[in-house]
Amino acid sequence: MLLHIPELLSRDELAHCRAVLAQADWRDGRVTAGPQSAQAKHNLQLPLNHPDHRALADLVLGALARNALFTSAAVPHRIVPPLFNRYDVGMEFGAHVDNAIRYIPGSDGLRIRTDISATLFLTDPEEYDGGELLIHDASGTQAVKLPAGDMIVYDTTVLHSVAPVTRGSRWASFFWTQSMIREGSRRRLLFDLDRTIMGLRARLPDDDPDILGLVNCYHNLMRQWCTL
């Protein structure tokens, strides 16, 4: 899965995030990296104990909760509270894979399985050079650089990196999701089915027999495949 979700944040939400981050005391980003990732990671991060971190994370979580495309694609069970990072000139993150298990900060030892990764861009492409999110898979390398407020969602299983920034500063929020559907191929099938149902509902009444049949199939597959 490699899914572009446009305008996750409203313009007002984006402006608020940027205003807060512009005044933030950024710290070394390696504090949240695993042993392998820490060797490749060179960026800055908003500390978890920053007084505005929780409010910014809740703002992103609220945007996710109202976004039907994210819900359809991820079928989220739990989400690690969003983190915020910054890449200035010369900073990068070499190829790595995210940890399979992560603790929920501030919880009583709660852990989640990381099925889906996401990067929410907070600076526009014109504000910096380099800094592309690079997804490395069997088909090659795909470079992602989206408008501020847009988000990319991808399977946590793939190698990925952030290209060196050569001008300006790249800000983003990132987080991981544990899906109710553990198997990626099943998530993609349910996503395709859900999008098909939504397309038909735009043209046909909700009580159309074919729509009702597809909805029935969707929920019966959910019952078989959900892991809660």
The answer on whether 53 is annotated among ligand-binding residues is no
The answer on whether 16 is annotated among ligand-binding residues is no
Amino acid of residue 80: V
**Sign of the dihedral defined by the CA atoms of residues 47, 49, 50, 56, in that order:** positive
Report the length, in residues, of the chain.
228
Question: Which tokens sit at 52?
Answer: 């505005």
The answer on whether 88 is annotated among ligand-binding residues is no
The answer on whether 18 is annotated among ligand-binding residues is no
Counting beta carbons within 10 angstroms of the beta carbon of residue 158, is it exposed (0 to 12), middle (13 to 18) or buried (19 or more)? middle
d(CA 83, CA 50): 11
Identify the three-state secondary structure at position 47: coil
Amino acid of residue 151: M
Annotated binding site: 96, 98, 160, 170
Annotated binding site for 2-oxoglutarate: 170
Annotated binding site for Fe cation: 96, 98, 160
